[in-house]
Amino acid sequence: MPALASLYAPRTRGITGSVIDASTSLLGNQTHDVVRLAMGSPAVEAIPSATFGALLGELEADHGAFDYGPTEGDRALRGALLDFLAGNGTAAGEDELLITSGGMQGLDLVCKLFVGRGDLVAVESPTYTNGTATISGYEGEMVEVPGDADGMDVGALERLASERGAPKLIYTIPTFQNPAGTTLSLERRERLIELAAAWGSVVLEDDPYSLLRFEGEELPSLRELGAGRARVIGVHTFSKILAPGLRVGWVLAEPELIHRMVDARQSMDTCTAPPMQRLVARFLADGFAEEHLARLRVDYHDRKVAMQQALADELGDLGASWTDPHGGFFLWLTLPEHVDTDVLFAAALREGVAFIPGRAFSIGGRFGNALRLAFSAEPPGRAREGIARLRRAIEITTDHQE
Ligand SMILES: Cc1ncc(COP(=O)(O)O)c(C=O)c1O
């Protein structure tokens, strides 16, 4: 038999695995106590599983819940979601909404429709590399745009475009970015939209976290700012505000594009699992969401503050620095140059704490001395223990490296 590799279609060369997703299996195989600061998971206590259980029980009488559903999404969920979004300041028309199987499917559909071999795509650095893996899977050519505390450096994007040409697609996570936790300032949002409008670029606004703001002022989404000027597609998910295992997300885009996405999906997964859609529809329509979100915002704020305090206490003397997110799940820790966080990862896991090393968030393998910490999943006391273990691991690895 010929080797499998000789049979794969040439375009599969761009398909890469995900270090982030691989951590789920790796951590699942650990038998000792590990403080989980790696995955972008909600707190276990933040998942309203008792309410879900009760609502799922009620689906027994709802036979349509187990049939095929419409590709654009279950009618009940579409209605409940549009009302929920309107209540949270996002106006969207019935024909601008597609229900998806999580945020990842939204990213995949956008890339499937817009990215072809050699198309230039601007991505943030660091960025969510499951997003860039999707782009490379469709053979896009990426350029990394650096960021700082105010999100993507839009001036640097402009300079890159003058060297390389205007990007066809701009992939950004402007609000409580994964992994950095930073937020694109209003001024930069305005400029990004101006540039996208001038270049005719499509902006892919990946936004799983904006409903989890616990500090600072609300900012308009890129989609809102771009209305009538630039083409912005919003990709969203219930993974962070309800539960990732539901695999329910949504896309907001212009009606013509929603139609094409429906077509593209019909050769993919037909529809998002209808029982999960009905479950989310009931959760929203029965009015559970607002109180739930209000509690999450308080809890995640407490967790962020506790983690920053632990970092100051445990790593303050090392010359480490970290970001100050105003919402979401993550902060980004930069250690002194000589610390290699890939090496640190193994020692940290042995000590009983997990994070994701910085290189996993850059297509060019940058950020070897940085790492992502999720403050979402573990309660403050556990996070403090995790940071103390991290300190021990830094000492062990730097002793060996010196
Ligand atoms: C920026 C970003 N986009 C997309 C996703 C994927 O969301 P989902 O799990 O709903 O597919 C995530 C999840 O971590 C994310 O952080």
Query: Radius of gyration (Cα) for the chain, nearest Å?
Result: 21
Q: How confident is the model at residue 347 (pLDDT cuts 50, 70, 90)?
A: very high
Eight-state DSSP code of residue 383: H
Q: For residues 380 and 387, is the Cβ–Cβ distance under 8 A?
A: no
Q: Considering only 16-30, 44-58, 315-329, which range has the smallest mean pLDDT?
A: 16-30
Any atom of ligand 1 within 6 Å of the Cβ of 376 = no
**Between vectors from CA 112 to CA 108 and to CA 118, what angle results, nearest 5°?**
115
Pairing of strands 330-334, 151-152: unpaired
Residue 208 C-alpha to ligand 1 middle, in angstroms? 6
Does residue 237's CB lie within 6 angstroms of at least one atom of ligand 1? yes
Residues pairing with 235 in the sheet: 206, 251
Q: Is the CB of 272 under 6 A from ligand 1?
A: no
Q: How confident is the model over 50-70, as pLDDT tens digits?
A: 999 999 999 988 878 999 999
| DSSP single-letter state for residue 201 | P
Distance of CA 383 to the CA centre of its chain: 21
**Residue 177 in contact with ligand 1 by CB distance below 6 A:** no
Atom index in ligand 1 nearest the CA of residue 40 equals 14
pLDDT tier for residue 23 given thresholds of 50, 70 and 90: confident
Residues in contact with 27: Cβ distance below 8 Å, sequence separation at least 6, in sequence order: 34, 36, 38, 39, 354
pTM score, whole prediction: 0.96
- Residue 173 Cβ inside 6 Å of ligand 1? The answer reads yes
Task: Identify the bridge partners of residue 370 per DSSP, sorted by sequence position.
Answer: 334
